[in-house]
Amino acid sequence: MKKHADVNGCRIAYREEGSGEPIVLIHGLCGSAAYWKYVLPLLAADYRVIVPDLRGHGDSDAPEDGPYTVELMADDIAALLDQLQIETATLFGHSLGGYVTLAFAERHVQRLRAFSLVHSMAYPDSEEAKAGRIKAAESIREHGMVPYMKTLAPKLFAPALVETLADEVAHVRKIGEETKPIGAINTLLGMKERPDRNHVLRETAVPVLLVAGEHDQVIPPDKTFSVQKSQIAEVLLKEVGHMSMLEAPEDLHQALSSFLQQK
């Protein structure tokens, strides 16, 4: 059952399970807390797990005023932690959630025990990608979420898994179709404005985990593994794409759990 908190003038929905050291799982674009449906109970056996719906997504509000920058979303997470009386936490950010996590690491570093980018990267959008964000926003404004998700959902999975994991592809598609159009539009326009944050990886003093999928068609491994240093761990998940939490949840849980135990 989801709970709600009013943060930064926006009603944010979230799930909370387990007890102990707090960790936060942050979903990707046009996703929701439901992306973590398999991983959440596994982690909640040992940790206090908070899984928000980002503004504009899931059961959270979608304010008309945009764009929703990743910095704004990072501040939402910090305000949610305040409401939950959590001083420090470990953040795991998937895709867009990784961009939010990096912004959090830059703006609220004192709140972080450690953090992880899961199928995400520290690079900004290329000019081509920025144009793609604008085109997607215009398409959603004109045609709604259904055609956008019909194209996007299969690309999030490893090509070899699209048919065998048809139910999970449909799950992702349904979550995306239920995303409020203005929420998706404002998020797309916010994502294209994010800066290069490789310096955050280079300069951070906290443990970091970078997770990539061998067959990720959205963010290839070389984009995820952009900085090498002693406290940055790298995990390449074999035979998965951009959605390891649905493609190989036990493998992803193992990677996250090992990181939490060793940090």
Contact 172, 156 (CB under 8 A): yes
Among residues 176, 206, 185, the alpha carbon closest in space to that of 102 is found at 206
Q: What is the pLDDT of residue 66?
A: 86
Query: What are the structural domain ranges in the chain?
Result: 3-262
Query: For residue 248, which amino acid is it?
Result: A
What is residue 263's predicted lDDT score, i.e. its pLDDT?
73
pLDDT tens sequence across 80-114: 999 999 999 999 999 999 999 999 999 999 999 99
Alpha helices by DSSP H, listed for the chain, are 39-44, 70-83, 96-107, 127-143, 145-155, 166-177, 181-191, 198-203, 221-224, 244-247, 249-262
Q: Is 121 left (phi over 0), alpha (psi -120 to 50) or beta?
A: beta
Rounded distance, CA 89 to CA 114, Å? 7
Q: Which residues of the chain have pLDDT under 50?
A: none
Architecture category of domain 3-262 in CATH? 3-Layer(aba) Sandwich (3.40)
SS3 (DSSP) at 94:
strand
